[in-house]
Every structure is written in C-alpha cells, then in structure tokens.
C-alpha cells in the first residue's frame, strides 16, 4: 500500500501543478511535511470543480453524484481505485477533516449545475461551501501538531478563503458570463446587471476580509506561513489591479499577474516573513 499511497499523492500533485501554477507555487513554499496533504485537498476540489465547469456534453449531475458517492465510499473503506480520492481520504482520516466540510463543498458544486445568479443568503452559503470550507480543510492540516489553534484561527481561514474566491469571481467575469452563463455577485438578476456600483460593494467586502484574515495568517506555523502569506500577497496584487478596472473592461479581458511579478511577490513575502520576522 505504501507505493500506491505515494503514487496517489504524486497524481494529486500533478493535477494541482497542471491546473494552478499560482497555487502550486505557494505549496512549494511549505516545508515538505505539509505539501502532500494540501495537494490531495486541492486535487479533490479541482476534480469536482471541473465536473461542473468544463465537462460539457456529459451528464454533469450524474458525474457529480457519482463523485460524491465515490468520495464517501473512499472515506468509509479507507481506499479508492481513484488515486486522487485515495489520497484525499487519507488526509481526511489523518487530519480529522469534518465530513460537514466535504458535504458543504459538494453541495456548492451542485448549486453551479442549476444556478446562474444568487440571492444574498444563498450566495453566502455558496461561498461557505465553495471556498471557506476549503480553507478549513487546509487549516486542519496546518495545525495538526497543535489542534487547539484550530478554533483560534478558523474564522481567519474562512475569511481568507472567501476573499480569494470573491477575487476570482471578479477576475473571471468574462469567462463566467460567456462560457457558463453565471455571475457571482449577490442579488443580481435579469433586471439588475453587474455594474461598477455593485462591483464596488463586493470589493468593500473583499477588502475587509483581507484585513481581518491577515492577523490569522501571521499566527500560522512557520512551516506554512510563508506559502500562505505569498498567496495572500498575490491575491492582494490581483485585487488591486481588478479594482482599477471597470466592469466593461473585465468583461473583455481577464486580469493577470505575470510570472515575473509572482516571483517578486514571493521574494517580498520571504523578506517580510523570514528576514523581518513578520508576526
């Protein structure tokens, strides 16, 4: 089993690196003991997201239902012939990840199959399931050596996940509208289209969440602090660029951060965490 376990983690790592260079860059900044479990969590999340976002021409509801069943079967049985689910179930067991988080995440993915707009309450539920619980899963990994820190840091983890997701929503306005017919700003419908005013309201939420999440980041174990903080700086920079864009511009072009700038941000995070001993 040791070989299969190792190969499963490697496949989750490959999946992560293929789909997200930015996220992979942050994981590389973790000390080695944290990397495989975070790759496993991302691999699980990525497959579910791809089912609802890109598996066009297939019965997405059926695929997602099967993925849900396979996930719980893997956790119950302690094994899966799907290597990504196998590595994920090991992390769930080894780090005590709450099944409620898994169910909330899969419920949010299912929302994407039938919802194109969201009222505020449903929007908040969607954010919780699609982003905040992912932050909580990762936090379970981060604080394994000191579980008492989980309750202390869980609100910051939720806020950071929420802020990251909302920045993604603004960045992806063009593709969400054109390819998926969705818009992820609360309380929009056919009569209320996205505009610079309601964009500003979401930006105010993001700014507050970033501010409140930062204190939690600085209390993370040193083995993951650099990676999470570098991701924080990346998203802050992406958010700053998005804030300067009108909705009409975001509908035409996707805002990006160059690889050179990503490296600069990583060096900046290294200096602030290691050299300046940011706490």
1-114 architecture in CATH? Orthogonal Bundle (1.10)
| pLDDT over 90 at 67, yes or no | yes
Cα(173)–Cα(193) distance, integer angstroms: 12
Q: What angle do CA 217, 161, 51 make, to 5 degrees?
A: 145
Per-residue confidence (pLDDT) for residue 115, from 0 to 100: 75
pLDDT digits (tens, 9 = 90+) for 1-50: 899 999 999 999 999 999 987 778 789 889 999 999 999 999 999 999 99
Per-residue confidence (pLDDT) for residue 58, from 0 to 100: 96
Q: Which residues of 58-73 are buried (b: 16+ CB within 10 A; e: fewer)?
A: eebeebbeebbeebee
Region label for 6, one of left (φ > 0), alpha (ψ between -120 and 50) or beta (otherwise): alpha
With 0-12 CB in 10 A as exposed, 13-18 as middle and 19+ as buried, what is 257? middle
Cα(55)–Cα(18) distance, integer angstroms: 17
Least confident of 67-76, 157-166, 180-189, 232-241: 180-189
Q: Which residues contact 150 (CB under 8 A, 6 or more apart)?
A: 139, 140, 143
Q: Can you say how many angstroms the Cα of residue 72 is from the centroid of all Cα atoms in its chain?
A: 21
Beta carbons of 126 and 118 less than 8 angstroms apart: yes
Per-residue confidence (pLDDT) for residue 177, from 0 to 100: 78
Cα(242)–Cα(78) distance, integer angstroms: 43
Give me the numbers of helices (H) and strands (E) for the chain, helices first please. 14, 0
Per-residue confidence (pLDDT) for residue 21, from 0 to 100: 77
Provide the mean pLDDT of the chain.
91
Where are the chain's structural domains? 1-114, 154-279
Q: Which H helix or E strand runs over 170? A: helix 149-171
> Cα–Cα distances in Å, from 130 out to 56, 105, 112, 134?
20, 5, 10, 7
Q: What angle do CA 21, 135, 81 make, to 5 degrees?
A: 70
1-114 against 154-279: fold identical: yes
Identity of the highest mean pLDDT range in 114-123, 152-161, 256-265: 152-161
pLDDT digits (tens, 9 = 90+) for 82-115: 999 999 999 999 999 999 999 999 999 999 998 7
3-state secondary structure of 189: coil
Q: Model confidence at 198, in pLDDT bands (50, 70, 90)?
A: confident
How many Cβ atoms sit within 10 Å of the Cβ of residue 140?
22
Tell me, which fold does domain 154-279 have in CATH? Farnesyl Diphosphate Synthase (1.10.600)
Per-residue confidence (pLDDT) for residue 268, from 0 to 100: 82
What sign has the CA pseudo-torsion 272, 274, 155, 184?
Answer: positive
Per-residue confidence (pLDDT) for residue 180, from 0 to 100: 78
Cα(157)–Cα(132) distance, integer angstroms: 7
Per-residue confidence (pLDDT) for residue 275, from 0 to 100: 57
Q: Model confidence at 237, in pLDDT bands (50, 70, 90)?
A: very high
Q: Which of 153, 121, 136, 150 is nearest to 45 (CA)?
A: 136
| pLDDT over 90 at 120, yes or no | no
């Amino acid at each position: 089993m040791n070989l299969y376990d190792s190969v499963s983690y490697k496949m989750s790592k490959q999946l992560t690196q293929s789909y997200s260079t930015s996220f992979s860059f942050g994981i590389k900044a973790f000390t080695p003991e944290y990397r495989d479990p975070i790759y496993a969590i991302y691999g699980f999340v990525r497959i579910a997201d791809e089912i609802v976002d890109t598996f066009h021409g297939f019965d997405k509801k059926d695929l997602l239902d099967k993925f849900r069943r396979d996930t719980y079967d893997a956790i119950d049985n302690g094994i899966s012939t799907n290597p990504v689910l196998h590595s994920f179930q090991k992390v769930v067991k080894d780090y005590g990840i709450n099944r409620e988080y898994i169910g909330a995440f899969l419920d949010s993915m299912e929302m994407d199959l039938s919802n194109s707009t969201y009222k505020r309450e449903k929007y908040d539920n969607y954010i919780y399931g699609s982003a905040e619980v992912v932050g909580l899963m990762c936090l379970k990994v981060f604080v394994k050596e000191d579980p008492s820190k989980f309750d202390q840091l869980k609100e910051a983890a939720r806020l950071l996940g929420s802020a990251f997701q909302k920045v993604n929503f603004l960045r992806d306005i063009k593709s969400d509208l054109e390819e998926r017919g969705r818009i992820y700003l609360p309380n929009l419908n056919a009569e209320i289209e996205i505009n610079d005013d309601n964009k500003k309201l979401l930006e105010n939420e993001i700014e507050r969440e970033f501010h409140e999440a930062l204190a939690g980041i600085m209390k993370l174990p040193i083995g993951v602090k650099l990676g999470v903080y570098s991701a924080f700086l990346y998203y802050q920079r992406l958010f700053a660029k998005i804030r300067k864009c009108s909705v009409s511009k975001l509908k035409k072009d996707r805002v990006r951060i160059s690889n050179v700038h990503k490296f600069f941000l990583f060096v900046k995070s290294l200096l602030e965490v290691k050299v300046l001993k940011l706490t």
